Amino acid sequence: MNTAEIRQAYQAARTQGLRARDAAEHIGLSEGAALAAHLGTHEQATRTVALRPDWLELLKSLQPCGPLLALTRNRSVVHEKTGVYEKLSAQNQVGLALGKEIDLRLFFKQWHAGMAVTELNPDSDKPASSSLQFFDRNGVAVHKIFLREGSDRAAWQAVLAQWQDPLAAAPVFEPPATAEPKAAEPVVDAPAFAQAWAEMSDVHQFFPLLREFGVERQHGLRLVEGRFTRRVAHGSVRQMLMEAAFDDTPIMAFVGSSGCIQIHSGPIKRVEPLEMRGQVWLNVLDPGFNLHLREDHIGDVWVVEKPSSDGTISSLEVFDAHGDLMALFFGARKPGKPELTEWRHLLAHLSGAEEGASA
């Protein structure tokens, strides 16, 4: 397809009600490639302008805009959080946003291109959608930022004027590499791995531990199954969210793309499952925080315990059928504080995987 044909096909898919990512896949393109075709002057409802690639400074410039919607997603989970972009810093291509509401871990090495995106509303009486969207080299979105009703529109326009580059060439994206068959798991000294796990004093030592023994995340969980980890039923995610909402137990919800991890910390209130078009979604629909998780994508769920100087830190880790991490959940806590007893009790009575499968 040429550029004009891409625009027409993408617009037709959007008109059918497909979300941006799904509309791009529907026409055989990555989302980044589909949006890159909308640079320049044309009559379609979606219009884009390239952004200058100084990502940290761009994000820092957003603070005067007030509350914005931050969106980070992967194939199975969408995490939306409304708040102010503040307290941003970076070192060696790894960034942090430590605002009251917007809490991000940013991996700028994966940020290949950014675009300002305007999408006209079919109802001409309603304002257009305006956003900043960032993509990896395969055209997969790593992070998106949307203007909200409570945002400062003048400040937002100033950001666009500062960072848009109308003369820039359209970004070029690479097709994703062909998925290689997963290699056999390496032979590991399981007792040594378990001992090293037991000696952790900080949850951030977990990734160095995996690297030291050359294992991927779920392999590591299996190596200490029965001591520090246990499999629980697929329905445990729904049960956990429902009980946390009912008991007002504050949680932390982590969802990551290749270039960003987005975190919600606090209570949740409204949890609603939804089955539609053969898909099963588990939704948190709260003011300022939305989570949309494809429950039918769940492959494995684990309760994981990691030693720390603050005591045991427990998490619920959710993987899809391909073994990719969908989301992580913790009890809300601050460094130096022990884990919430209510969170630990909630995880303790989740059904085991076999028990849940036979229920």
Q: For residue 335, what is the domain's CATH number? A: 3.40.1570.10
| Percent of the chain residues topping a pLDDT of 70 | 98
Lowest mean pLDDT among 40-44, 137-141, 206-210: 40-44
Q: Determine whether 356 is exposed, middle or buried from the number of CB atoms within 10 Å of its CB (0-12, 13-18, 19+).
A: middle
61 within a domain of the structure (yes/no): yes
Domain span at 275: 191-358
Per-residue pLDDT at 354: 61
How far apart CA 248 and CA 267 sit, in angstroms, is 6
Per-residue pLDDT at 54: 96
Contact 106, 94 (CB under 8 A): yes
| Domain boundary pick from 125, 148, 163 | 163
Average pLDDT over residues 330-349: 93
CA atoms within 13 A on the CB side of 192: 8
Average pLDDT over residues 29-51: 94
Same domain, 155 and 274: no
Same domain, 245 and 144: no
How far apart CA 228 and CA 355 sit, in angstroms, is 19
Per-residue pLDDT at 334: 85
Computed from CA positions of residues 67, 73, 77, 78, in that sequence, does the dihedral angle turn out positive or negative? positive
DSSP string for residues in 210-228: HHHHT--HHHHHHHTBTTT
| Domain boundary pick from 125, 146, 163 | 163
On the question of pLDDT at 358 being above 80, the answer is no
Pairing of strands 251-256, 229-232: unpaired
Same domain, 202 and 276: yes
Same domain, 142 and 205: no
pLDDT tens by residue, 221-275: 999 999 999 999 999 999 999 999 999 999 999 999 999 999 999 999 999 999 9
269 within a domain of the structure (yes/no): yes
Same domain, 145 and 211: no
Q: Which 3 state secondary structure label does DSSP give 252?
A: strand
pLDDT tens by residue, 152-201: 999 999 999 999 999 999 999 998 877 777 778 899 999 999 999 999 99
Per-residue pLDDT at 226: 95
228 within a domain of the structure (yes/no): yes
54 within a domain of the structure (yes/no): yes
On the question of pLDDT at 123 being above 80, the answer is no
Same domain, 157 and 197: no
Per-residue pLDDT at 180: 72
- Single pTM value for the model: 0.94
Average pLDDT over residues 78-99: 97
Phi, psi of 126 (to 5 degrees): -105, 150
Same domain, 18 and 65: yes
Give me the chain's average pLDDT, please. 94
168 within a domain of the structure (yes/no): no
Q: How many domains does the chain have?
A: 2
How far apart CA 4 and CA 106 sit, in angstroms, is 34
Same domain, 144 and 197: no
How far apart CA 92 and CA 140 sit, in angstroms, is 22
179 within a domain of the structure (yes/no): no
Per-residue pLDDT at 357: 43
Same domain, 260 and 134: no
Per-residue pLDDT at 351: 86
Same domain, 205 and 159: no
Which amino acid, one-letter code, is at 59?
Answer: L
On the question of pLDDT at 353 being above 80, the answer is no
256 within a domain of the structure (yes/no): yes
Same domain, 135 and 211: no
